[in-house]
Structure 1
């Protein structure tokens, strides 16, 4: 089961505590994965179509607990793919309350967002990327969902894709917050664990890359210094160099893998890194000058 399906399984088990929140979640389920109609006799019909068994059970349970009515359920299996889908239909004059659900309270907005995700949402595998989205049929529905999401200080955006309108979040921290808003606390902790491990891995990789780069620079510099010293040894002779340069050249030749700090500590009068670097740079400048002459 994917991470997204794990989230839906958890959220399907979260039941609203208040009736108005149950109405908001039912409204979202029907709006994003079904339809609502008013019959000639005034009765209200709510229909839900889903391939997720847990979502079907959630819809059925909310109807029973909120209105004390049951939905008729039809289970179909695709002859081509073998996928199972669930069709649920409920009829009652009382169901008009679902279609009039209000999203004024924060708790109702949470329930509405949860229902929207259950009906038409997905979250990518956090080990690969961070992406939360809900697919909407119309720009009006997308805007309604976006406003509900952004009321929790998030930055939900809308993009049109293949005739649908997708409300999405891209940042890991915001998706963690979204799971909290939807009350998917187990999934939230699972995502946080992945984020922590990824951050630790990235930190270690950055340090390793930095150390590798520094080591590479140190080795390259040492190789150039050795080449310059040997060139001067052939053309001029080490003994003909000024005393300070002669001393650092001899130490570098003897200890080709030593750092600048280590070289400085080996001198008769110890020098710091900047002093050693200054002398080696003088040797390099002298070698370059002689190469050009």
Structure 2
């Protein structure tokens, strides 16, 4: 969530776009933030955002570029995970004219269900602005260290397809999917997400995403290696304890009738229960290899098993 706020704050701070790009961003934010609604036989524009910076940017753009008044109100909503803050933007006076100016209403006064034709067929700055506006309105991004995704909730299937098509002009290959009743545009490739952040105007957030993702991957690798090493140690300790019990049983079976080199190897196993075979080899006098100590212990156990079997057969 912290990264998401940083991305939207950075995007809302962009002031260098040409007027046509700003108009494309306004249209897309209105469409993805809520759109047109009939109230008391007239049209109002009612949009909702999770970022105060996004709501204020849209309010100021409507005032400066379209000379319309917009009001922003903070509202609280209860969810299963707690209280969330949202920012509602309302345009009641002149909403029909604003909808026509932004292309949300066509010339026949029909609501455009996707994105205005002027946006999706516009220049690259307009396409970038449309993606920026869609993300400001309904975009989310995973925090670094978690499964990578960038997602935009779309108001209609047509708007999802329009945004997907506009993205292809930027080299963005995004997938559309339906989750319950909502249409979504989703990116899961981490490098593609970084590229999108740069394209829509959030290079600082892109650098943060890349840096934290690299840190998270490094920590994840270190944790996996540590867990792997820990598992190996547990397996080795268990095997050593089992081998010690087998050697003690062999000593009971064989008594004093044990070759000296096999008895010395068995003693090392019993005296140094936690030591590895390599360490036991170093402790031998003279030192021997890991394979040699393992071979002597194996022959000791085989000799004990053979002796025990012969005794059982002799008693029958």
| Bin of the TM-score, shorter chain as denominator length | 0.7 to 0.9
- 1:71 is aligned to 68
In structure 2, C-alpha distance between the alignment counterparts of 1:270 and 1:80, rounded to whole Å: 73
Q: Check 1:147–1:248 CA distance in 2 against 1; reply closer, same or farther (3 A cut).
A: farther
In structure 2, C-alpha distance between the alignment counterparts of 1:230 and 1:213, rounded to whole Å: 26
Among 86, 89, 109, the alignment partner of 1:86 is: 89
Is contact 1:63-1:71 (8 Å) kept?
Answer: yes
- 1:32 is aligned to 32
Is contact 2:174-2:186 (8 Å) kept?
Answer: yes
In structure 2, C-alpha distance between the alignment counterparts of 1:232 and 1:289, rounded to whole Å: 10
Which of structure 1's runs of 4+ aligned residues deviate more than 6 A?
79-82
TM-score of the superposition, structure 1-length normalised? 0.79
Question: What pairs up with 1:85-164 in 2 under 5 angstroms?
Answer: 85-88=88-91, 91=97, 95=101, 99=116, 100-103=118-121, 105-126=123-144, 129-164=147-182
In structure 2, C-alpha distance between the alignment counterparts of 1:288 and 1:253, rounded to whole Å: 18
Q: Are 2:263 and 1:263 aligned?
A: no
Is contact 2:59-2:71 (8 Å) kept?
Answer: no
Q: CA deviation at 1:231?
A: 0.8
TM-score of the superposition, structure 2-length normalised? 0.74
Stretches of structure 2 lacking an aligned partner (at least 5 in a row): 38-42, 79-84, 105-115
Q: CA deviation at 1:137?
A: 2.2
Q: Check 1:80–1:104 CA distance in 2 against 1; reply closer, same or farther (3 A cut).
A: closer
In structure 2, C-alpha distance between the alignment counterparts of 1:233 and 1:93, rounded to whole Å: 93
Q: CA deviation at 1:165?
A: 0.6
- 1:166 is aligned to 184
User: How many residue pairs are counted as aligned between the two chains?
Assistant: 283
SS at match of 2:219: helix
In structure 1, C-alpha distance between the alignment counterparts of 2:200 and 2:213, rounded to whole Å: 19
Stretches of structure 1 lacking an aligned partner (at least 5 in a row): 38-44
**Which deviates more, 112-121 or 267-276?**
267-276
Q: CA deviation at 1:115?
A: 0.7
Structural RMSD (CA): 3.4
Q: Check 1:284–1:191 CA distance in 2 against 1; reply closer, same or farther (3 A cut).
A: farther
